[in-house]
Amino acid sequence: MARKFFVGGNFKMNGTKESIKSIIKNLNEAKLDPNVEVVIAPSHIFLPIAVDAVTASNVAVAAQNVSNKPNGAHTGEVSVSQLKDIGVNWTITGHSERRAAGESDEEVALKTKAAIDGGLSVIWCCGESLEEREAGKTVEVVEKQLAALAEKVSGDDWKKIVIAYEPIWAIGTGKVATTEQAQEVHAAIRKWLRTNVSDSVADETRILYGGSVTAKNCKDLAKQEDIDGFLVGGASLKPEFVDIINSNQ
């Protein structure tokens, strides 16, 4: 069974009420490939606005982060149940910018498990730094991150996970992994899933590429066997996001 193409838009700490509404209006009115699943992730404070504004049938809303704790005395955090309460059904976990701020592999895995247990689907991020790539440790780093995830999730949990491979050195830098570099890591991730989880999880899990994806490079990347879509940063704030969504046509 073919994996459904998936494009996520991570707005990061950008936007205003009006700009978020404008981006979503553009998506609602655009001719989006109906065979692509689209998920957009604005800042927490704009999530209710986004949920109310989205009318396109294949566009959903995600949080950029979530707590692994239930409701309670956790100042500044947002719980899984709170996201569900406002109509959000997705979250990103483990984005490199949060890992760089101190989130461990285990903490990312715990957040992912909490999200799934609470009814959210997850875009789980992994990737290596420039130093790790230059040292030839890319696959080693990604496999370590995967191993931490696999310690916390199992069985049908995997059906709720989309993996996003993001080479940290290519995020927001304008640099991009070559199609060959990206495909190589995506294939390694799928191989790890096959060896350490199951054939079905390896075959069914969608693996996205994230790292300065633009309208110019997305079509070549989309042609790669193990690239099932994109997690887009800055370009998701621009009209070209529609071209990236439609890049698999």
Q: Determine which helix (DSSP H) or strand (DSSP E) holds 112, and give its type and residue range.
A: helix 105-117
As a whole number of angstroms, the distance between CA 167 and CA 176 comes to 8
Alpha-helix residue ranges (DSSP H) falling in 135-211 = 138-150, 179-196, 199-204
Q: Return the CA Rg of the chain.
A: 17
Of 82, 30, 33, 28, nearest in space to 60 by CA: 28
Of 173, 186, 177, nearest in space to 224 by CA: 186
Q: Which residues contact 1 (CB under 8 A, 6 or more apart)?
A: 203, 204
Catalytic center residues: 95, 166
Q: Is residue 241 within 8 Å of 32, Cβ to Cβ?
A: no
